[in-house]
Chain A
Amino acid sequence: MSRSIRRGLSYLVLAAVTFVLLFPLLYAISGSLMSAQELSRYPPALIPSSPRLSSFADVLKAIPLARQYLNSAVVSIVVMLGQLVTATSAAYAFGFLRFPLRNLAFAVFLATMMIPWEAVIIPNYLFMAGNGLLNTYPALILPFLATGFGTFLLRQFFLTFPRDLFEAALVDGCGHLRFLWTILVPLSRPALASLGIYAFLQTWNQYFWPLLVTKTSTMQTLQIGISSLRDTEAATAPNFILAGVVLALIPALFLIYVGQRHIVRGLTSGALRG
């Protein structure tokens, strides 16, 4: 078989797999452009016969989408930055410094990963309520600023650096902060990027916690806004919900498009050396 045929075949297979993976997304877009009647036809229509944007307009009328976008973005970005800062500093301590009970302290850090988030929802809620933080950004952000998982991920990454690098820097009079900032962080970009993207998406997709601590639609995040489009009893038209979902997907898709190089590199770089 000649090379070009083989190549053509593999493109064909890849295209087919991509289509299968993308189908739900494509159908969501296509459905959001259909009328309620067209969407509930059987057998189902795949392509809108006369695409219409009115579902999008209905969504924008029903929820303060721009504000909820902003809320989701503020919360996700602050949590992402916060996790990067706390996880980098903690991982630095566990990876490079020697101090008493270091391994025990690290084990305690890891232990936080074993406690299901659901178990701490109520104590966290009581804390927020007790301090009058309900329905504010701090309530949405504070519980997520530190991460056992991120610390673990970065520590493992830092351990792959030769210790000589660290010692040479110290001998040359480089302080901890300067070493961290000018040497370690630039070298760890892939790992930091994958943690950042992970933290962002995780926060972006949260549902129950933001629902619990917000009270007004202007403080609610996008995920709650989207779920508020669905009224199970009233047999709501699905095109309306799909339009909301498509609007919510756009930034996440954009972020993955921009960041996918880093995600892949971050996930695989540890795999070979670790």
Chain B
Amino acid sequence: MRRLALAVAAALFAAACGGGATVQQASPLDNATPPSKPVEVTFWHGFAAGANQDATNALVQKFNDAHKGDIHVTATYQGTYDDTLAKLKAAIQANQPGTLPSLSQIYDIGTRFMIDSKAIQPMQAFIDHDKFSTADLEPNILGYYSIGGKLYSMPWNISTPLLYYNKDAFREAGLDPEKPPQTLDQIRAAAEKLTKKDGSGNITQYGFGAAIYGWFLEQLTAKADLQFCNNGNGRDKNASKVLFNQPEDVKIVDWWTRMVGDGVALNTGRNTTDAQNAFKAGRFAMNLESTGALRGYQSSVKFQLGAGFFPRSTANAGVGGAIPGGASLWIMNGKPSYEQKAAWEFVKFLEQPDNMAYWHTHTGYFPVDKKALNDPADQAWVQQYPLFRAAIDQLHATKLDKATQGCLLGVMPQTRQAAEVGIENAILKKASPQKAMDDAAAAIQPQIDQYNQAVAAK
């Protein structure tokens, strides 16, 4: 009986992996007229209730008001980023009219999968058709979503990682609160001064703490101007190997392991919320987090908050940079051309400088259009949240190359998890940093191979 169940499971797995998208592709260039108006555009996103969802709904409302009788966009929450991608995968397999949205937000690390799914219409097709100018869009952001000079999806909610710190604790430890550490060695030195013990030897404040989040290792790798996976970070052709067990990454993991082992950093595990809450509660004085956390931090910390560039592992400041993270918008090609074009209208609308300024000031995500930063409302906001300046400067300081474009892998979500397991095993002293990262790389290899075979077989 058990064998039967296993066989059934295996058959389904094969079906699930082998089934490529055979949805009919409609060219965005044909001039099919919609049978009725307004054209309905369904838009899936992964924004939980709160500021981000409110801002999304407000922009959708504004668009619908401006296109009354013409286009109507319905935005719905589909679960977390992971859930949204899982749902989209199921919908692509179902290959039925009505199951797929016209437009979907997908997180950065789903990019390679989306391209390989063949279920999407590259954004470049609309850009070329409309002669739409991308000159004002941040090139460092477009870099991530471009392969071979072709833009596949439109970046929308963009965040970058920062070093957050407790200025009060800096002052107390005799450190300059306006000069946050910039390298891992400087963080180590500052953390030693920031770690406080009470009379009985218990640590009341650690110097440093960050969630064991694979994204941070990816960022540190890009800051060192190194690639995270081979074949030009998966941009020359599909990557076939991860590189996170290279010497520089092992050095970074070793640094992290020592920080925790020597009691100057607190390990709160892989859950980002745990590290956020511990930082808010003042358990440690320096923290790595996304720009997305800035507003949440400012509304609940009782100390003076500081933010600086994400650290780098090397002394050389002239190379590399942070990878813009976040999510982008994908238009599905299984829809009639008029629906795809209507979705494109909405995408263009979101990228307009005034709407980007609204988006930036209401969510804290980075404005994709450069001109948004000149908007008076935007400038007033940056005045109010001066810490955001660090994110702007960091993005502009990044040198665009394959390392800072970031790694694309069809199984990037799983790869990030594998890296996290590796870092965690090193920190928990289950294996040496080198062995832990080697094991993690070996663990993800079969999934990469399987994915590439499935794509090649299509």
Contacts and interface: CB of A to CB of B under 8 A. Distances in A.
Contact of A126 (B5, B77, B93, B293): B93
A62 B50 contact: yes
A215 interface: yes
Interface string A193-225: 000000000000000000110011100000010
B299 A36 contact: yes
A37 B52 CA distance: 21
B52 A234 contact: yes
Interface stretch (B189-197, B279-287, B311-319, B377-385): B279-287
B9 A40 contact: no
B267 interface: no
Interface string A219-250: 00000100111111111111010000000000
Given A40-B280, A216-B76, A114 B1 contact: yes
Contacts of B302: 37
Interface in A105-137: 107, 111, 114-116, 119-123, 125-126, 129-130, 132, 134
A212 B90 contact: yes
B273 interface: yes
Contacts of A115: 5, 8-9
Contacts of A125: 90, 94
B79 interface: yes
Interface in A55-76: 59, 62-63
A111 B42 CA distance: 40
B408 to A, nearest CB: 21
B58 to A, nearest CB: 14
B79 A211 contact: yes
Contact of A237 (B2, B8, B300): B300
A168 B42 CA distance: 63
Contact of A132 (B4, B98, B293): B98
Contacts of A257: none
Contacts of B12: 119-120, 122-123
A142 B125 CA distance: 42
B299 A232 contact: no
A129 B52 contact: no
Interface residues of B, number: 55
B127 interface: no
B94 A129 contact: yes
Contact of A228 (B77, B276, B280, B301): B77
B24 interface: no
Contact of B9 (A119, A212, A227): A119
B272 A232 contact: yes
Nearest to B2: A114
Interface string B76-92: 11111001001100110
B66 interface: no
B88 to A, nearest CB: 11
A41 interface: yes
Given A114-B2, A115-B5, A231 B76 contact: no
A237 B49 CA distance: 12
A42 interface: yes
B272 A227 contact: no
Most interface-central of A62, A211, A224 (chain B CB within 10 A): A211
Interface string B90-111: 1101101011000000000000
A231 B8 contact: no
A220 B87 CA distance: 14
B296 interface: yes
B9 A228 contact: no
Given A42-B282, A211-B87, A217-B77, A231 B48 contact: yes
30 contacts: A36-B299, A40-B281, A40-B300, A62-B53, A111-B4, A115-B5, A115-B8, A115-B9, A116-B5, A121-B90, A126-B94, A129-B99, A130-B94, A211-B79, A216-B76, A227-B79, A228-B53, A228-B77, A229-B49, A231-B48, A231-B50, A232-B273, A234-B50, A234-B292, A234-B296, A235-B280, A235-B292, A235-B295, A236-B50, A237-B300
Interface of A: 36-37, 40-42, 44, 59, 62-63, 107, 111, 114-116, 119-123, 125-126, 129-130, 132, 134, 211-212, 215-217, 224, 227-238, 240
Given A42-B281, A115-B5, A240-B50, 17 more contacts: A62-B49, A114-B1, A114-B2, A119-B12, A121-B90, A122-B12, A134-B98, A211-B83, A212-B87, A215-B78, A216-B76, A232-B272, A234-B293, A234-B364, A235-B293, A236-B48, A238-B273
